[in-house]
Amino acid sequence: MTRAFVGLGSNLDEPAAQLERAFEALAALPGTRLVARSPVYRTAPVGDPDQPEFRNAVAELATTLAAPDLLAAMQDVERRQGRRRDPRRRFGPRTIDLDLLMYGDSVIRQPGLVVPHPRLAGRAFVLRPLADLAPALEIPGLGRVADLLAGVDTRGVRPAGPPGSVEGDSANEHPANEDQS
């Protein structure tokens, strides 16, 4: 079994519910077990500020799937949850976004698959929930998660409350600001 980490993000169609469905779908992948899930965070969009806030989290998986097969399965989960890619808005809104952040201690550079995720080290909305699960995790070529987190601005990453609460999921709230991909 390989230890893998997946970043989850959503800002459309009841984001908290989208994340919950994605966690369940990841846990149901063949040869895969959901080991842990981070708390959910509210984050401002990056790169395209004219959209609702995101909900972000990280899943830790134990899987027998090869990295390309895991990525393909994740993309299938995205399609089943209504993900539509708009080439004009690369960092635009989405029902669900699943990013393969880490696959064991592998460094993979293939067309369509780069691990560790190429923007992982600079994204507070990924590092904060990843640090909740594995602060001492070494990202090949980059360093420990806790050290990387200490080097980014985390002011825009706030704990999300339970669904239905004031801090929870109110579907498509007012715009804020980043590509969660």
pLDDT digits (tens, 9 = 90+) for 100-124: 999 999 999 999 999 999 999 999 9
Distance, CA of 174 to CA of 85 (rounded, Å): 21
55, 94, 123, 128: the active-site residue: 94
Cβ proximity of 8 and 56 under 8 Å: yes
User: Average pLDDT of 131-149?
Assistant: 97
Indicate if 99 belongs to the active site: yes
* CA of residue 165 relative to chain centroid, distance: 22
37, 42, 55, 97: the active-site residue: 97
Indicate if 83 belongs to the active site: yes
Indicate if 94 belongs to the active site: yes
| Torsion sign (Cα): 66, 71, 75, 80 | positive
| Of 73, 95, 68, residue with least CA distance to 27 | 73
Distance, CA of 134 to CA of 166 (rounded, Å): 29
The residue behind tokens 């801090």 is 167
37, 42, 55, 99: the active-site residue: 99
Q: What is the pTM of this model?
A: 0.87
3, 83, 89, 144: the active-site residue: 83
